[in-house]
């Protein structure tokens, strides 16, 4: 297993997780619920981590994440539930996890 992505915002990690699963890549969480331990250990150690199960998928997964997180021309979308701006790469609102496809157009 290899670490593919980590961020202090677990919703961003969740979006990366969704993107990779949709691409057929098996990934697992580590530290998903570590935020309850804040105060006991250094903040960085509590960041949720996304790990690729099969090392052979790593290079592919890195590309998918890089593409998804750096789509400069893709329009942002605004969550209908909480009005937060979301990057176009994300399928769910980073703030409240409302699904993008539930947006009224
Ligand atoms: Zn929202």
Are both 55 and 99 inside the same structural domain? Answer: no
More confident: 12 or 105: 12
Are both 36 and 83 inside the same structural domain? Answer: no
Are both 64 and 85 inside the same structural domain? Answer: no
Are both 10 and 38 inside the same structural domain? Answer: yes
Residue 104: is its pLDDT beyond 60? no
Tokens of 64: 């998918």
- Give 91 Cα–ligand 1 centroid separation in angstroms: 11
> How sure is the predictor about 8, in pLDDT bands with cuts at 50, 70 and 90?
confident
Residue 81: is its pLDDT beyond 80? yes
- Give 59 Cα–ligand 1 centroid separation in angstroms: 31
Domain of residue 27, residue span: 1-70
DSSP per-residue codes, 31-79: STTGGGGBTTB-GGGGS-EEEESSGGGHHHHHHHHHHHH--TTSPPEE-
70/9 Cα distance (integer angstroms): 17
> How sure is the predictor about 26, in pLDDT bands with cuts at 50, 70 and 90?
very high
- Give 20 Cα–ligand 1 centroid separation in angstroms: 21
Number of domains comprising the chain: 2
Are both 6 and 56 inside the same structural domain? Answer: yes
The tens digit of pLDDT for each residue in 45-68 reads 678 899 999 999 999 999 998 887
């Amino acid at each position: 297993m290899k670490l593919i992505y980590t961020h202090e915002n677990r919703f961003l990690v969740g979006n990366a997780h969704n993107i990779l699963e949709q691409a057929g890549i098996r990934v697992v969480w580590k530290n998903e619920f570590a935020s309850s331990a804040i105060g006991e250990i250094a903040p960085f150690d509590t960041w949720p981590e996304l790990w690729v199960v099969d090392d052979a998928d790593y290079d592919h997964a890195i590309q998918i994440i890089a593409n998804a997180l750096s789509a400069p021309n893709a329009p942002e979308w605004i969550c209908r539930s909480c009005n937060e701006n979301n990057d176009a790469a994300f399928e769910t609102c980073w703030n409240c996890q409302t699904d993008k496809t539930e947006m009224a157009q």
